[in-house]
Structure 1
Amino acid sequence: MKEITAKEVEQLLQNGNSLNIIDVREVEEVASGKIPGAVNIPLGLLEFRMNELSKEKEYIIVCRSGGRSARATQFLESYGYNVTNMTGGMLAWEGPVE
């Protein structure tokens, strides 16, 4: 499983990179703030909504601490998606939130 740190994601965004970020936290968790531009697909709905994702794109998967995003990353990887887990999750995120 590929991994990236919250700091590396923040630096990529600061450098103007366009990232596809999927936040797998529950809706009420995301209400307290998410990485700007991240799309919320709660982990429990991922298998029903993965048709919204493209196997041609690369995705960074985020949750609160990195556990759920690791499960989501493994799940999507098993279906051939190009995904990377953000270690530490939003607890490690120091960048802006929306």
Structure 2
Amino acid sequence: MASSVTKEISYEDLKALVGKSQNLFLVDVRSKEELDKGRIPGSVHIPIDTVEAALTMEPEAFKAKYGVTKPPLDAPELVFHCQMGRRGGMATDKASKLGYMNARNYAGAYKEWSEKEGK
């Protein structure tokens, strides 16, 4: 049923969602050090090595830890990203295996975002 091909989202599509969509759940899987250099507005920081644990938490525990409501399995706009694209893909695969049907990787990652945004 689940394909091994990671679903991806383009810069243009993500840009259209950031700040405009109530449904966007954007997960930044980079390290704290990378995050300190800049981030995509509205993203939630869940480092790559904790993604699986985070997505299997009880909703109350997730909210207490991350300050946001845990996305449901059918979240329409669940997007992961890292610095270059690889870890975002890994996180997207993990989410898909856990049953998140619409998980996508922003393959351009923060590198492309920061270049396009001029930050």
Match of 1:25 in 2: 30
Counterpart contact for 2:18–2:41, Cα < 8 Å: no
- SS of the equivalent of 1:25 reads coil
For 1:65, give the aligned amino acid: M
Q: Is residue 61 of structure 1 aligned with residue 87 of structure 2?
A: no
Cα distance change of structure 1 residues 55 and 7 upon mapping to structure 2, 3 Å threshold: same
Structure 1 runs of 4+ with >4 Å offset: none
TM-score, normalised relative to structure 1 = 0.86
In the alignment of these two chains, the number of paired residues is 96
Can you give the 5+ residue segments of structure 2 that lack an aligned partner in the other structure? 1-5, 63-69
Q: Is residue 9 of structure 1 aligned with residue 27 of structure 2?
A: no
- Higher RCO by CA contacts (8 Å cutoff, separation 6 or greater): 1
CA positional deviation for 1:56: 3.2
Distance 2:117 2:12 in 1: 8
Counterpart contact for 1:36–1:96, Cα < 8 Å: no
CA positional deviation for 1:11: 2.4
Computing the radius of gyration from Cα coordinates, the structure with the larger value is 2
CA positional deviation for 1:96: 7.9
Cα distance change of structure 1 residues 67 and 34 upon mapping to structure 2, 3 Å threshold: same
Structure 1 or 2: larger strand share? 1
For 2:86, give the aligned amino acid: G
For 1:31, give the aligned amino acid: D
Q: Deviation per CA, 1:19-54, whole angstroms, max 9, x where unpaired?
A: 110000011111111111100000011122112332
TM-score, normalised relative to structure 2 = 0.72
CA RMSD of aligned residues (A): 1.8
